[in-house]
Structure 1
């Protein structure tokens, strides 16, 4: 299954990328090394030295450059070799590693692994509640041994709370809640309203609900390409308008590691204007959710992946229910975008072949620009 490359993905939380220790991450099936230069700016390079293919993540950050641990060649943020300690110091023209566009926002380092010219026309969706300047935030991370779209399916349908998380997040009213789905451009919304709920202690405490009080709960999930999700949850005493209740906001970012594993980044944010309560609540949310996410969601997702094996989701002929409306919309958007990207790549290959005056061996399809001269070699 190909990955969508012309899209923003979270590579790491900002706090994980430093000026001293390079960080290795496998993203979209490729090994990437991340570090910060002397100005503190994040850098993302392919994790393979072009000399003898040593992994770069074992090297040292030297000012603005990353030094290969094997023979000491250094590469700057553009991937260009800027230092050769051997012989006369001459630097071969081919001494380069692939570099990637990065952006730091919402407490995360984002990476673009597609065509650089498309960066400017592909803005990030808004996650303003995670802006650390205005909000107290708390973050979490889990590695899931399942395809990233299985994780998106899981978050777009929260009816599973009643059955997979009965003692923490769920209630007996979850599955019977009313649902609506919207698709606006390439954004999908899943909205659920549960009335007369008896919340579990963990959730009730987070929203300041006294024991035994019946509440109405609103759960809105927003999905954007490729797996950037925002969840809004509102709780108010039953019959009281939503605006008089309490809201929480969380971001959930799904980045493929491989076809069958996913980096799952999640975070909560609340305005600093709330004072110390904001810090307490966001930490409570992440700490409390880590257990059900890790002990209930992850095993289920991994079991699903094991059951699917190498089979494509649609080839497995899933039975669809009304609760799948948002997940199916998101999958179809991704299918269309990947198919379009592959067709565009094919057209570029054919154009290059025509310019060279004949057929050449077909390179592996990627979304990076093709150097036509390379096809003649």
Structure 2
């Protein structure tokens, strides 16, 4: 079954430092895109297909800010218009152009709008300002997974799997005993898990000054369509505010390459030990282990199992769900409604989350562990 993608949405295309003056290709929702920076350092995004003979422009050459097709030498400017035909009388056919895409650089990421350019509103980019906020120190990366992106959303919106799949790193038996709460405001969904009076997960326990003692642990996941997630996660002494513990924001942004594979942009923006580079390595290592060596094999194995049973996604098989699946199911339903609304020409509703900078300026934030929506 062919899966539809949300078109009128911002997709995280790359970390800012991935795109340089060199030609760079990345496929997003089935469209091969060409990225580069112009002479002023501004990002340019074009469709990678030359409209003449479908040669990939990525294989071509830069002539200043103009791209020369490697096959027949046609040249295209930043708007996608053909500006040079070296053949015959040099006449340029009216339709000789390749689409250019709206692109915004925000939160140290490049965001591409894949739908109607007239609807590309930068204010609809979800808030990941923790990437640049001086109150945090960030490590980041990107992992390619051979799995459908909604399967990964399921994984992230129901964090009870952490106790089992990430045992020894991020898992704790307090997680499955924790209190679950799912809320929705506009098109923003929170899947929150509050796990009081339990042992800290090993990765957190080693960072905590009261090593080996019970803690209150929280995992609050924010979701915005199509698959932009931010995890507020940490531990603190039982009954104490977050300011007395250790915590961070975890970025989990999924960008579908196509129906079968996904780019997973991750980051850890910690609110502790900002000046100690050792913690950069600790968190990068823990996340690459958890996501790259535990989540990735599971998602890819799950995808293969679905295909063996004649399906592609959970909607294609007779899945039996648990109460803990309410977060993933709410996100799936919201995304499905948005795709259907887009197909019928309806306006897409606004997200409903508060800006992080507003949240962090709230004097009571450090004194609480409850999620703020």
Alignment TM class, shorter chain as reference: 0.7 to 0.9
SS at match of 1:263: strand
2-structure distance, mates of 1:78, 1:57: 16
Evaluate the alpha carbon distance shift between residue 264 and residue 323 of structure 1 in structure 2; reply closer, same or farther with a 3 A threshold: same
Evaluate the alpha carbon distance shift between residue 210 and residue 66 of structure 1 in structure 2; reply closer, same or farther with a 3 A threshold: farther
Evaluate the alpha carbon distance shift between residue 323 and residue 315 of structure 1 in structure 2; reply closer, same or farther with a 3 A threshold: same
Unaligned runs of 5+ in 1: 346-377
The match for 1:10 among 4, 9, 12 is: 12
CA-to-aligned-CA distance 1:172-221 (integer Å, 9 cap, x gap): 2211111111011100001111123323442223x334431221111100
In structure 2, the partner of 1:139 is 140
Pairs aligned (count): 341
Report if the CA contact (8 A) 1:102-1:110 is conserved: yes
2-structure distance, mates of 1:84, 1:137: 46
Report if the CA contact (8 A) 2:52-2:96 is conserved: yes
CA-to-aligned-CA distance 1:4-23 (integer Å, 9 cap, x gap): 1111111111111111x211
2-structure distance, mates of 1:295, 1:234: 22
Matches within 5 A, 1:89-238: 89-120=90-121, 123-131=124-132, 136-205=137-206, 207-238=207-238
Evaluate the alpha carbon distance shift between residue 220 and residue 108 of structure 1 in structure 2; reply closer, same or farther with a 3 A threshold: same
Report if the CA contact (8 A) 1:180-1:192 is conserved: yes
2-structure distance, mates of 1:306, 1:26: 22
How far 1:299 sits from its partner (Å)?
1.1
1-structure distance, mates of 2:102, 2:321: 38
In structure 2, the partner of 1:251 is 251
Report if the CA contact (8 A) 2:303-2:312 is conserved: no
Q: What TM-score comes out, normalization by structure 2 length?
A: 0.86
CA-to-aligned-CA distance 1:274-321 (integer Å, 9 cap, x gap): 6523x5434432222101211111111112211222344234232121
In structure 2, the partner of 1:355 is none
SS at match of 1:100: coil
In structure 1, the partner of 2:46 is 45
Report if the CA contact (8 A) 2:26-2:32 is conserved: yes
CA-to-aligned-CA distance 1:232-284 (integer Å, 9 cap, x gap): 1121112323342222012111011111211111112247x96523x543443
Report if the CA contact (8 A) 1:249-1:270 is conserved: yes
How far 1:108 sits from its partner (Å)?
0.9
Report if the CA contact (8 A) 2:23-2:35 is conserved: yes
The match for 1:281 among 279, 282, 302 is: 279
Report if the CA contact (8 A) 1:140-1:266 is conserved: yes
2-structure distance, mates of 1:132, 1:92: 49
Report if the CA contact (8 A) 1:65-1:77 is conserved: yes
Q: What TM-score comes out, normalization by structure 1 length?
A: 0.85
Report if the CA contact (8 A) 1:105-1:131 is conserved: no
Evaluate the alpha carbon distance shift between residue 58 and residue 135 of structure 1 in structure 2; reply closer, same or farther with a 3 A threshold: farther
How far 1:119 sits from its partner (Å)?
0.9
In structure 2, the partner of 1:32 is 33
2-structure distance, mates of 1:133, 1:14: 18
1-structure distance, mates of 2:133, 2:81: 33
SS at match of 1:314: helix
In structure 1, the partner of 2:353 is none
1-structure distance, mates of 2:39, 2:273: 35
How far 1:127 sits from its partner (Å)?
1.0
Evaluate the alpha carbon distance shift between residue 332 and residue 164 of structure 1 in structure 2; reply closer, same or farther with a 3 A threshold: same
2-structure distance, mates of 1:220, 1:280: 26
Q: CA RMSD, aligned part only?
A: 2.1
CA-to-aligned-CA distance 1:32-77 (integer Å, 9 cap, x gap): 1111111111111111111221111112232222221222222122
1-structure distance, mates of 2:269, 2:140: 9
2-structure distance, mates of 1:74, 1:284: 47
In structure 1, the partner of 2:297 is 299
In structure 2, the partner of 1:360 is none
Report if the CA contact (8 A) 1:148-1:256 is conserved: yes
Evaluate the alpha carbon distance shift between residue 117 and residue 79 of structure 1 in structure 2; reply closer, same or farther with a 3 A threshold: same
1-structure distance, mates of 2:241, 2:32: 50
SS at match of 1:276: coil
In structure 2, the partner of 1:332 is 333
How far 1:168 sits from its partner (Å)?
0.7
1-structure distance, mates of 2:17, 2:136: 16
